[in-house]
């Protein structure tokens, strides 16, 4: 039997805040945390940090001269990693691994340096080292003064859950004693949103809920981009510190027919969810936190996949993208945070614009889904300790 892996701490920063009590409070109301922002060529809905959280990041940036040259995606990662480790008793001399991923990486900083190059034909000395994707995990490890492996990667929108997969694999292989995994995204730039608009998936509506994630009756795509980061601490075994157990892991990739394709019944999700169950009865899963990006095809294909796997025993379904937007590479672990909060508080967070949502009698097992461009799906099954 494979060794159990526990989640023993977690931290986040998002439009909901960065304090766990505040985040949970904001999850319990029916308000979304999206706002309109004016860019150079258009205005668009986004899920941005509130001013209080933005000020915390500014304070962090000004606390170290070297931080002033870093992209927000790196600063977000440092911020949540510090907060996560404060909750642990990890000894820094141990082999602590770090795997922080991002879909876009230092996109705002890269755009700034590129703009300077177009104007002057020159680049600053720090342009390359501060815009590489590996910059995220290496700065986190440097800031925390830990010397285990540090890995950065991008697997688009399933990046954060792939980081969790990596952390579990390293721990079970005995190549690390503890593992900090996370995802960070700070890509609220006009160029990034223009790319999503070009795909014709970005929200245009000014209705009460501009992102209608998992509304299968919507007539137009409603994806909205958000920003934020999340980190979780993984340890081997089960103890009184365990918040949840990583009971199942699944992953799959679809054959590409188009750069952003996914089959009508999300075969990648069918495979990843079945792998995560690995003999566990589907009936025992109480909740699924869906990827549900707010697009017509993305939402419906994931639901069809759930129908294929769970048949007439479909768990209660929810998502957080209607509330905070789609945070790309950070989204999977922000969904894990929602799962952990529901397990800890034994309260289901429903979607306010959906009628007759199924409510779970208990919340002991929660599955979390994420998928990226090209059908890179990951499913993680979390369970309450002692289940």
| C-alpha to C-alpha distances, 222 to 50, 191, 209, 263, 324, nearest whole angstrom | 22, 18, 9, 19, 13
Mean pLDDT on 355-373: 95
What confidence category does residue 18 fall into, taking pLDDT thresholds of 50, 70 and 90?
very high
| Alpha-carbon torsion, ordered 239, 344, 367, 214, to 10 deg | -160
| C-alpha to C-alpha distances, 316 to 9, 211, 246, 287, nearest whole angstrom | 25, 20, 19, 5
Could you tell me how far CA 375 lies from the centroid of its own chain? 16
What confidence category does residue 205 fall into, taking pLDDT thresholds of 50, 70 and 90?
confident
User: Of 116, 13, 9, which is closest to residue 60 (Cα–Cα)?
Assistant: 13
Asked if 197 and 212 touch (Cβ cutoff 8 Å), the reply is: no
Could you tell me how far CA 74 lies from the centroid of its own chain? 15
Buried b (16+ CB within 10 A) or exposed e, 173-209: eeebbbbbbbbbbbbbbbebbeebbeeebbbeeeeeb
Sequence-distant (≥ 6) Cβ neighbours of residue 25 within 8 angstroms: none
* Token pair belonging to 41: 């060529």
d(CA 144, CA 130): 18
Mean pLDDT on 254-276: 84
Residue 360 DSSP SS3: coil
Cite the residue boundaries of each domain of the chain with CATH code 3.40.47.10: 5-236, 244-383
pLDDT digits (tens, 9 = 90+) for 51-85: 999 999 999 999 999 999 999 999 999 999 999 99
Res 386: pLDDT? 81
d(CA 342, CA 277): 20
Assign a CATH topology to domain 244-383: Peroxisomal Thiolase; Chain A, domain 1 (3.40.47)
Res 147: pLDDT? 85
| C-alpha to C-alpha distances, 87 to 10, 31, 99, 171, 198, nearest whole angstrom | 8, 29, 18, 20, 42
Range list of β-strands (E), 254-310: 287-289
pLDDT digits (tens, 9 = 90+) for 87-141: 999 987 789 999 999 999 999 999 999 999 999 999 999 999 999 988 999 999 9
d(CA 228, CA 103): 12
Judged against a pLDDT cut of 80, whether residue 257 lies above it is answered with no
The helix, strand and coil proportions of the chain, stated in percent and rounded to the nearest 5, come to 35, 20, 40
Judged against a pLDDT cut of 60, whether residue 259 lies above it is answered with no
User: Of 37, 39, 40, 77, which is closest to residue 57 (Cα–Cα)?
Assistant: 77
Superfamily of 5-236 according to CATH: Thiolase/Chalcone synthase (3.40.47.10)
In percent, how much of the chain has pLDDT > 70?
A: 98
Residue 157 DSSP SS3: strand
| DSSP code of residue 319 | -
Res 26: pLDDT? 98
């Amino acid at each position: 039997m494979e060794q159990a892996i526990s989640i023993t701490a977690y931290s986040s920063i998002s439009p909901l805040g960065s304090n766990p009590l505040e985040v949970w409070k904001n999850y319990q109301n029916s308000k979304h945390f999206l706002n309109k922002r004016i860019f150079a060529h258009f205005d668009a809905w986004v899920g941005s940090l509130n001013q209080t959280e933005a000020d915390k990041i500014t304070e962090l940036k000004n606390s170290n001269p070297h931080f002033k040259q870093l992209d927000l995606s790196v600063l977000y990662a440092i911020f949540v990693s510090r907060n996560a480790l404060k909750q642990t008793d990890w000894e820094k001399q141990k082999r602590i691994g770090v795997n922080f991923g991002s879909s876009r990486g230092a996109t705002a900083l890269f755009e700034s340096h590129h703009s300077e190059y177009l104007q002057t034909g020159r680049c600053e000395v720090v342009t390359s080292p501060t815009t590489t994707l590996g910059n995220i995990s290496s700065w986190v490890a440097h800031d925390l003064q830990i010397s285990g492996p540090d890995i950065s990667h991008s697997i688009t929108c399933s990046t954060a859950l792939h980081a969790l997969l990596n952390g579990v694999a390293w721990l079970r292989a005995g190549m690390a004693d503890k593992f900090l995994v996370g995802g960070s995204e700070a890509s609220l730039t006009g160029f990034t949103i223009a790319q999503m608009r070009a795909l014709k998936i970005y929200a245009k509506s000014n209705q009460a809920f501009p992102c209608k994630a998992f509304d299968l009756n919507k007539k137009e795509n409603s994806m909205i981009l958000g920003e934020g980061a999340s980190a979780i601490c993984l340890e081997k075994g089960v103890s009184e510190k365990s918040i949840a157990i990583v009971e199942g892991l699944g992953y799959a990739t679809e054959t590409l027919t188009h750069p952003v394709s996914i089959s009508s019944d999300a075969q990648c999700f069918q495979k990843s969810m079945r792998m995560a169950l690995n003999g566990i009865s589907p009936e025992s899963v109480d909740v699924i936190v869906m990827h549900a990006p707010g697009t017509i095809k993305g939402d419906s294909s994931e639901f069809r996949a759930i129908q294929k796997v769970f048949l007439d025993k479909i768990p209660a379904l929810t998502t957080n993208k209607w509330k905070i937007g789609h945070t790309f590479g950070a989204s999977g672990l922000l969904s894990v945070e929602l799962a952990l909060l529901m397990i800890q508080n034994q309260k289901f967070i429903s979607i306010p614009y959906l009628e007759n949502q199924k409510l779970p009698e208990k919340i002991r097992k929660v599955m979390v889904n994420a998928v990226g461009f090209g059908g890179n799906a990951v499913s993680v099954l979390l369970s309450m300790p002692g289940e």
